[in-house]
Structure 1
Amino acid sequence: MDHRTLIILLSLNLLTASVPVKRGAKATCNSCHATEDGKINIHLVPHSHDDVGWLKTVDQYYYGSGVANTQQDAGVQYIIASAVEALKSHPERRFIQVETAFFWKWWQNQNDRVKQDVVDLVNNGQLEIINGAWSMNDEAASHYHSTIDQYTWGFRILNETLGECARPKFGWQIDPFGHSREQASILAQLGFQGLVVGRIDYRDKEKRRENGNLDLLWHASANLENSEIFTTMFPDLYVSESGFCFDIICSDRSIIDDEESPEYNLKEKVEQFAQKMDTYVNYYSTSNLLIPMGGDFHYQAAEINFSNLDKLIKGFKNHKKYNVFYSTPSCYIEAVNKELIKNSKELIEKTDDFFPYASDNHSFWTGYFTSRPTSKRYERQANNVLQSAKQLAAFSKVNGQNFDQHLVALRAAVGVMQHHDAITGTEKQAVANDYARILTKALRELEAPVGIIIGNLLQKNSPVSLNLTTCLLANVSICQESQQDKFLVVVQNPLSRIVTHYVRLPVDGKSYKIIGPEGEETYDIFDTIHSFDYVEEDTKPSSNELVFAAKNLPPLGLKLYYVQKLNTTTTSYKPFKEVKSDDAYFGTETNGFTIDTETGKLVSITIRGNNLELTQNFFYYTGFKGSNGGSENRASGAYIFRPTQTEALPFTTQPITFKSARGSLVDQVIQIYNYELTQIIRVYKGAEDAYVEFDWLVGHLQNVEQKGKEVITRFTVDNFTNSGVFYTDSNGREQIKRELNTRNDYEYDFMEEPVASNYYPVTSKIVIKDENRSLEVAVLNDRAQGGSSLSDGSIELMVHRSCSRDDSFGVEEVLNERQYGLGIYVRGQHFLTFGTTEFDVENGTSTPAFERDLAQKKLLAPWILVADASDEKLDTLEKVQNLLHFQFEGLTRQLPNNVHILTFEPWRDDTYILRLEHFLEKDEDAKLSQAVTIDLEGLFASFNISDIVETTLGANQLLDDYNNEEKLIWNGIVRTPLAKLDPDNLLQIELGPMQIRTFIVKVAKK
């Protein structure tokens, strides 16, 4: 079979929708009303903004249940049904559908007649599918991996239900609180033609209005070609114009067009609307204006809205200045592009992002970068589990066992968590609890099938089902399975290279025997970070923690360990002991840290034999109390960070208690500040462990003078000059340069909020550089947080927030989480490393390349699963060895240190998604930042790739089809065809810096 036949067959398999409806005549997909030369063309975009949880839960919003009268009268099932009905007999009307999570919930309950109506409306361009992701994701706290996944899953549902015309081509990010460059880059890689953004700094917005620059061209990547994406925004927010909100939840006067009626007001309404347009006419680069007609949960009775808009449009018929009509974002972008080319005009260009967002001079939306830190961590864990589970399900499918359906709930749950009122922490507490319920349910439902999959992958002679579980409460020292006398540990490595991972599990004993694939393993047992005596669970927290190194985990592979508690007086337990004055250094000669034996505080760290004087401490800001009202009274709350002081306060002025414990694998020092704060500083003793770990537990925060408490950790390097410049990651991908008190696109008075205005989202890493010393220091985190460098040599990250007031942006609830009867405790880790900014010949890789590798290991950590081994079939080592292999290898060789398999998952029918990513930027390493070619031939241990086609990033369009599509040209930039497969070497994949390539493959078992 030649490659052309292969592509045709696979494209049919990939893109054919499986819905019980007829396609009918050839679809037009996009049907735009005509614009008029010489007039201002007003594009009315009917829409409903449907939050996937906020004041009510996902189900409450969908069904229209919950405390409607006091929160939101909203029922998404009625919105979709009502909009469809209102469109059917009025071909001139338009509507856009955004959130696939809600659409899929609705679609499953419709009969074939209604489904056919929807397909017809999509095919004729009346119902335009916009964005298409599972939810409208946040752009600060979301990681790019989860963002790509939730778009991919949304696209698959749309493809299988509605077909080709439902393939989204336009981004619709109208409500996230600031906008990231990486989000725009992802949309460009998805093949989107443009993007509508919503919230940008009010000063930025005003300047763009004045200069007519609400349309712009965004260069979304410093590394990738074809990263430009047309971007636009509304004159104001995404809601209908004041006086023109006709929804049942609005109070504006309806339009009466009967001239015989004493209520007649059409002429008045037309004049009123025209006056508003007179204000907006100079905001845009062309004679086209983008005007939203909708809002939060509008169109529950869609005919009311549409009927009034019909009359408004009728009233502008033959108007001298304005041509008013129903439109969609796709129609708007085509009109703008046509006019710009006709008039040889160019758009203003942008290369950075839209952070931080401020809605007024004291309202910087930088608090949500940290709000609800336990939710942010839980989402990150769930995503890591999802990647591992998808790999395992793929390997199982190769072996003839299909567990695809068991992935659906977790795919959807992680997709929901990306929503801009979910991972942001800006929802009500009851909704946050429901998000946790959704994630927990999905994770638990996955455990039984994963136990079967792993048992089969490790089986020797016959299938073995393992009762495996993920220890979701290990952070509070609870894991019922590892607290038994005998248990199994399975470690799955989701990365494409060999990894050594330190397994940490709660245990009740002090002496164990651990047997793995290479025989008996060395281990340590330490005191836990806290007694966790406040935790109310059926299983009590353990006082000890077992640590062992799962060494050389095979790429995309498994290792099995048998652990047995020993009844012996010999112990490997290392209790925390007093630190001796002459014994302040911990670690190895290569990597370690030193503490001050008087104070117990960090004074220096050593990485790769180089010493750096550096301190770390905790501080806090008190949040402004404020009150309901204008910006001067704005309180610090779920969205807003507004400290009452410019200098953070020491967390405690009292001496801290500190002790140390030294083990075979790790050294650590525990610092107990008070009942609110405890931290362990540790260093692992492996040669590759060139970092120091900070394991902190912060909670039960006490308000200070009823002002709230917002806790930060701060690292300060002596004699370090970064001149107000620091770098933060964009959703875990490219680094963006930040400059203290500076904006690239507008001026602002930083003295109004000197701290909050300099906070940026840190999804995976923050870096400072001293160019004179050729030195950079990086702190990596385990969840999204707000961070900054407010003075030379300093890095601070906010770890926890407890507020005393609501910030009056809609939640109407104080951010003050509680759990087990106390203010919620948050546990997390930071990872600090440093090195030269120059290429390090001796160590082979640059400091940034090491940071990238470390970020991958921490953000996609191996999945630890545990099973009680007291069952008769598994209660001895010999029985386990007779039943199971102790290792499974997914790949025959590891990939280079700059590339990994971003996604490997079962897809439709007998296909799989395979994504490869080059995760270094152009200038990060002299060698590893170069293009690399990956040979897929023989890469996988259990199968060969028999067929392969390349798609766009979302796996919903063949790359050849995308390359052959006519592209809109902006500012004279002609898009070059994206790299595609070499027909003579289909399995030779070349990747440049930051490039992601997506493939649909078929496989043949070896």
Structure 2
Amino acid sequence: MNNAVFKIILELSVIAIVAECRKVDNHNVGCIKCHPLDKNKINVHLIPHSHDDVGWLKTLDEYYYGVNTGQISVRLIISSVVEALKRNPDRRYIQVETAYFHKWWKDNEDMRTEFKQLVDRGQIEMVNGAWSMNDEACVNYQSIIDQFTFGLRKIEESVGKCGRPRVGWQIDPFGHSREHASILSQMGFDGVLFARMDHDDKSARQAKGQLNFLWHGSANLEDSTIFAGCFPTSSYSEPDSFCWDINCGDDQIVDNPNSTIYNIKKKVDQFTKILKNFTNYYPPGTKNIIVPMGGDFHFQAAGYNFLNMDKLIKGFSEYNSEFNVIYSTPSCYIKAINEAAPALKLKTDDFFPYSDQNYAFWAGYFTSRPTVKRSERVGHNILQAAKRIHALSPQHFNDGELEELKMSMGALQHHDAITGTQQQHVADDYIRMLSAGIRKAEAPLGNIISDILNSNLTLELSSCQLANMSICNVSQNSDNFVIAVYNPLGWAVTHHVRLPVKEGIYEINGPDGAEIYDLTETLFSFDYVRIKGEKPSTYELLFAAKDVPAMGLKVYHVARKSTGTATSEQLLRSSNVFEMDKESGLLKSVTVNDVALNVTQKFHFYQSHDGFSEVSDVASGAYIFRPFKNTPTVFENATILRKFSGNLVEEVHQKWENTYANIYQSIRWYKNENYVEFDWIVGNIDLDHMTFGKEIISRFSIKDFDNQGVFYTDSNGREMLRRVKNKRPTYKYNITQEPVASNYYPVTSRIVIKDERRGLRAAILTDRSQGGTSLNKGEIELMVHRRLIFDDERGVGESLDEFEFETPLYARGTHYLVFGPAKKPNKDGRTTAAHERILAQKKLLQPWVGLSRTDLSFEELKDQMQLSYEPLENNLPPSINILSLEPWTSGSLLLRLEHIMEKDDDAVLSLPMKIENIQELFKDIEITGVTETTLSAHLTLEELEERGVYTWKSEDGTSHAKQINILDSEREIVLCPMEIRTFILKTNRSETSGSSMNYIWSPSILISVIVLICCY
């Protein structure tokens, strides 16, 4: 048989299987096969599941293989489940974490066919689909979308279309964000289920029968409403006395009437009592209850679990006429709820901060392990740049080199990774994986960029990962080097490149000729750093890479000409930007764009609670923030180390002399920029001989500024949410218990206060997740670092006490102060809110700066390569950004366009924006076809329309359903505020290597296709 004929047969087989998957009776949802419901009973949906953390007390590999204390092995869990499901076609199970499934799939080729058959028969439902079950407080929306896209793609490559998840399963994150609900809605998901909700909120919802509700995920997108449900159990585990996993101690069910320990009727009665209580928690008329049956790393010996559930289900059919107990899946449960058509309460806010008991607000993890949080942002920046560079080069049109970085970034989104709530050796492993992924992803970039610039030169480009400690081997130890600056954004940017160097006189040349520069002293000596062969520099070279093209490149040549004393700094005797208090050494006021702000910035620390008190034993730990006193201790006056003004920058360096911690800070203004930068270093926190921990904050205080207890924080770096001190929008809580921690919220991008009377607003932008609040008039505080003595007894089993180079951890970070009119535009015509939006994107996706040694002079370099590259026909409008561009399949590209403004941000930039011809977006890429997909790119809009979406009814009588507007033109694209649109661009390229979603069909898989068709 020739290949063409064989291919036709296989394609017909695929068409047949898909057709069979779509043949649904009244109990089925696509490929998901649901057990019949009993309209005369309350239907109880048992959901067998295993919650498998992608790292926590053990590393990902330790959990997967079952090593390093304990016998947990995710590899055995999946294999055990497959064997158990084969024994009884009624059984169901959900597979959640794609990171583990992917490893298992690669390791168990002999079981792949059986697993796929179980998926096709609806016995296994793939749920959530992301690489990991991500946190929802500390993650940025771009990383969420990325790791869902990657995980869903791996599922499609392995088990095919019947494995496409339809339900979000966020059962363990410590609070839930509105933006995450919006993202799931935009992915075409039917709903989201979770377990953790503030204990006061959950009690109120249980009393009102509102554990199921509708969640409107966006204030800007009308069709972002999604069904949401919370489990009736106290967590995501099975009810008490009904745990039958291998490590559980509950009684097995004995259904032999001749046995002296026959207990099935007793078990049915016990379960009935629990279920009757659960029925009160849901809206009237629902007649469906969800009961999770599983827990952390359950089902290693799946037969134990399933055998007892078999007996429980049979027992209810014989001894109970009120409840119909069935095996089920999240999709079947949501389908049943939709058919019952209850009127559901509509929610428009989020679920932060989360508290599981009195005095226990899980707001510490917003800041815990600040260096891990920053490393994740750096990894994201590099991954996005690398994907775009790969996509722009037809010679290197694959993303195989990026897979390791995608995996490590997906793992870092996990709710015990970026949160900082893992054990120390696990945190070290996350950074090990990330570093390895970055090295592999950056390795081919020099060659790709050489090709893009039409050069035969070999550039071994890599970024300076240790520049935050004033270490960069290339810039410190080379008299000549090349710098490639790649801009991943959709508009041209000017980026200030700052590199550790030796003292000397330098020449910098680029596509625009010679560049001016500053050579300045470093903020801190970093004398505690011990890296073989590396020594921190005492000088930094600064220059501006001006107007780097959208999605494009500029290349610079740097030559060190002499070694004399050559700092370009000049004593800053007076400044039109900063005013420093001479006595305290603290900031007194700032003036930018002719607007003055009387603002003071200080560092303070909260003394951490040890958990010993008459009212509660809750301690401050990796998860929980609980200060011993509600008023923090201030770090007293600062010493001004130096002031200077250069060609490009004005800086003031501060140092706080104290016994509590080492604190250094540079207050910096890049000339002509509309923000002020606070570059801080906090470390070597002293624990007062193990008396109490410290949680250090940076507090900004604005004189005569009244925000009336209202402030705003971002939701995963996207939409802003209004916060009111001591208030929750939907329930009451005791504000006297923890008046500080209960007002802390996650800040992943920015926190804003407004003085409506003065018509003024001020924002602090962050470079990573931090806990933040506004406790007093005109104040913003952000927690930057924590070192603790006690564990908060939430499972991690360690105190948060990090060391690096045998020294209590130093963290370095940046805050950006932006201020101006609250509503009126600035003198450039843009509002302050618009400035904040654009700056946030510039800092999240900074240009990638790669360095390479060279023996060439600038003239020789210029003769052998282009020094700039502009891939777009035109810059995009400042409110439209290219969120994603990466190689997809068969020579196609994945493209996401986003509108970065909310509808009230700016009178002009918040308007709907049009791209006239998407097929002419790029200069050198011929686009031959455009297909629009859901946000996650795993469903085309045509497929979503064919599958269908649910319509839901809210309590006010309105209906809610996702609108599917299929692209009727491949040319004109319109984006409304906060809208993201995702496209697969067919090009004239062919895929050279790397990952592909094309299936490799073996005879065994072909047989499974035929068997499946016959089974149906």
Normalising by the residue count of structure 1, what TM-score does the alignment of the two structures yield? 0.93
Q: Which residue of 1 aligns with 2:88?
A: 90
Question: Would you say the 8 A contact 1:403–1:449 is kept in 2?
Answer: no
Residue 979, structure 1, aligned to residue 965, structure 2: yes
Deviation, structure 1 residue 214: 0.4
Deviation, structure 1 residue 677: 3.3
Question: Would you say the 8 A contact 1:947–1:1002 is kept in 2?
Answer: yes
Of 716, 719, 722, the residue aligned with 1:734 is: 719
Which residue identity does 2:89 align to in structure 1?
A: P
Question: Would you say the 8 A contact 1:489–1:563 is kept in 2?
Answer: yes
RMSD of the TM alignment (CA)?
A: 2.1
Aligned partner of residue 242 in structure 1, secondary structure: coil
Quote the Cα distance in structure 2 between the aligned partners of 1:509 and 1:407. 37
380 and 785 in structure 1: CA distance in 2 versus 1, 3 angstrom threshold:
same
Quote the Cα distance in structure 2 between the aligned partners of 1:788 and 1:930. 31
Of 933, 940, 943, the residue aligned with 1:958 is: 940
Which residue identity does 1:645 align to in structure 2?
A: K
Aligned partner of residue 481 in structure 1, secondary structure: helix
Deviation, structure 1 residue 26: 4.1
Which residue identity does 2:981 align to in structure 1?
A: R
Which residue identity does 1:195 align to in structure 2?
A: V
Aligned partner of residue 656 in structure 1, secondary structure: strand
Q: Which residue of 2 aligns with 1:170?
A: 167
Q: Which residue of 2 aligns with 1:803?
A: 788
Q: Which residue of 1 aligns with 2:908?
A: 927
Deviation, structure 1 residue 593: 1.9
Residue 624, structure 1, aligned to residue 609, structure 2: yes
Residue 337, structure 1, aligned to residue 321, structure 2: no
Which residue identity does 2:943 align to in structure 1?
A: D
Question: Would you say the 8 A contact 1:79–1:299 is kept in 2?
Answer: yes
Question: Would you say the 8 A contact 1:245–1:294 is kept in 2?
Answer: yes
16 and 103 in structure 1: CA distance in 2 versus 1, 3 angstrom threshold:
farther
Report Cα offsets for 1:815-843 as digits up to 9, x if no partner. Answer: 01000011000000000010111231642
- Count, aligned residues: 962
Deviation, structure 1 residue 944: 2.8
Q: Which residue of 1 aligns with 2:651?
A: 668
Which residue identity does 1:443 align to in structure 2?
A: I
Deviation, structure 1 residue 451: 1.4
Question: Would you say the 8 A contact 1:17–1:159 is kept in 2?
Answer: no
Question: Would you say the 8 A contact 1:963–1:977 is kept in 2?
Answer: no
Of 506, 513, 516, the residue aligned with 1:519 is: 513
Q: What pairs up with 1:184-223 in 2 under 5 angstroms?
A: 184-223=181-220
Of 433, 445, 454, the residue aligned with 1:459 is: 454
Report Cα offsets for 1:638-663 as digits up to 9, x if no partner. Answer: 00000011111102x35534321211
Aligned partner of residue 181 in structure 2, secondary structure: helix
Report Cα offsets for 1:487-510 as digits up to 9, x if no partner. Answer: 111111000101000001000123
Which residue identity does 1:638 align to in structure 2?
A: A
Residue 308, structure 1, aligned to residue 334, structure 2: no
Q: What pairs up with 1:527-542 in 2 under 5 angstroms?
A: 527-538=521-532, 539-542=534-537
Quote the Cα distance in structure 2 between the aligned partners of 1:631 and 1:380. 39
Q: What pairs up with 1:102-251 in 2 under 5 angstroms?
A: 102-112=100-110, 114-235=111-232, 236-251=234-249
Q: Which residue of 2 aligns with 1:66?
A: 68
Which residue identity does 1:124 align to in structure 2?
A: R
Deviation, structure 1 residue 630: 10
Quote the Cα distance in structure 1 between the aligned partners of 2:182 and 2:807. 42
Quote the Cα distance in structure 1 between the aligned partners of 2:638 and 2:303. 68
Structure 2: runs of 5+ lacking an equivalent? 1-6, 23-29, 991-1016
Q: Which residue of 2 aligns with 1:656?
A: 639
Paired-residue identity, %: 48
Which residue identity does 2:819 align to in structure 1?
A: F
Of 428, 440, 446, the residue aligned with 2:423 is: 428
Deviation, structure 1 residue 404: 1.4
Which residue identity does 1:300 align to in structure 2?
A: Q
Deviation, structure 1 residue 315: 0.7
Deviation, structure 1 residue 35: 1.7
Aligned partner of residue 701 in structure 2, secondary structure: strand
Q: Which residue of 1 aligns with 2:694?
A: 709
Which residue identity does 1:184 align to in structure 2?
A: A
Which residue identity does 1:422 align to in structure 2?
A: A
Report Cα offsets for 1:220-252 as digits up to 9, x if no partner. Answer: 100002111000011121011111100001111
Question: Would you say the 8 A contact 1:469–1:866 is kept in 2?
Answer: yes
Residue 696, structure 1, aligned to residue 680, structure 2: yes
Question: Would you say the 8 A contact 1:510–1:573 is kept in 2?
Answer: no
Which residue identity does 2:86 align to in structure 1?
A: K
Deviation, structure 1 residue 570: 6.8
18 and 141 in structure 1: CA distance in 2 versus 1, 3 angstrom threshold:
farther
Quote the Cα distance in structure 2 between the aligned partners of 1:406 and 1:542. 32
Structure 1: runs of 5+ lacking an equivalent? 1-11
948 and 847 in structure 1: CA distance in 2 versus 1, 3 angstrom threshold:
same
Quote the Cα distance in structure 2 between the aligned partners of 1:642 and 1:417. 26
Question: Would you say the 8 A contact 1:16–1:160 is kept in 2?
Answer: no
Which residue identity does 1:558 align to in structure 2?
A: L
Q: Which residue of 2 aligns with 1:7?
A: none
Quote the Cα distance in structure 1 between the aligned partners of 2:328 and 2:615. 35
Which residue identity does 2:656 align to in structure 1?
A: Y
Q: Which residue of 1 aligns with 2:345?
A: 348
Question: Would you say the 8 A contact 1:593–1:692 is kept in 2?
Answer: no
Quote the Cα distance in structure 2 between the aligned partners of 1:953 and 1:599. 51
Which residue identity does 1:967 align to in structure 2?
A: V
Residue 503, structure 1, aligned to residue 501, structure 2: no
Aligned partner of residue 161 in structure 1, secondary structure: helix
Deviation, structure 1 residue 803: 0.6
Q: Which residue of 2 aligns with 1:77?
A: 75
Q: Which residue of 2 aligns with 1:1002?
A: 986
Question: Would you say the 8 A contact 2:826–2:832 is kept in 1?
Answer: no
Quote the Cα distance in structure 1 between the aligned partners of 2:54 and 2:888. 25
Report Cα offsets for 1:652-679 as digits up to 9, x if no partner. Answer: x355343212111001000010373333
247 and 570 in structure 1: CA distance in 2 versus 1, 3 angstrom threshold:
closer
Question: Would you say the 8 A contact 1:492–1:863 is kept in 2?
Answer: yes
Q: Which residue of 1 aligns with 2:274?
A: 276
Quote the Cα distance in structure 1 between the aligned partners of 2:535 and 2:202. 54
Report Cα offsets for 1:861-919 as digits up to 9, x if no partner. Answer: 111111122xxxx3322332222211111212110010010000001121110000001
Residue 744, structure 1, aligned to residue 729, structure 2: yes
Deviation, structure 1 residue 188: 0.1
Quote the Cα distance in structure 2 between the aligned partners of 1:812 and 1:683. 40
937 and 947 in structure 1: CA distance in 2 versus 1, 3 angstrom threshold:
closer
Q: Which residue of 2 aligns with 1:9?
A: none
Which residue identity does 2:457 align to in structure 1?
A: V
Aligned partner of residue 262 in structure 1, secondary structure: coil
Q: Which residue of 1 aligns with 2:317?
A: 317
Quote the Cα distance in structure 1 between the aligned partners of 2:913 and 2:426. 45
Deviation, structure 1 residue 568: 5.6
Q: Which residue of 2 aligns with 1:645?
A: 629
Deviation, structure 1 residue 978: 3.0
Question: Would you say the 8 A contact 2:386–2:442 is kept in 1?
Answer: no
Which residue identity does 2:245 align to in structure 1?
A: D
16 and 279 in structure 1: CA distance in 2 versus 1, 3 angstrom threshold:
farther
Q: Which residue of 1 aligns with 2:381?
A: 384
Question: Would you say the 8 A contact 1:17–1:162 is kept in 2?
Answer: no
Report Cα offsets for 1:343-401 as digits up to 9, x if no partner. Answer: xx4101100000000001111000000000000000001001000000000012xx232
389 and 151 in structure 1: CA distance in 2 versus 1, 3 angstrom threshold:
same
362 and 468 in structure 1: CA distance in 2 versus 1, 3 angstrom threshold:
same
623 and 234 in structure 1: CA distance in 2 versus 1, 3 angstrom threshold:
same
Deviation, structure 1 residue 469: 1.4
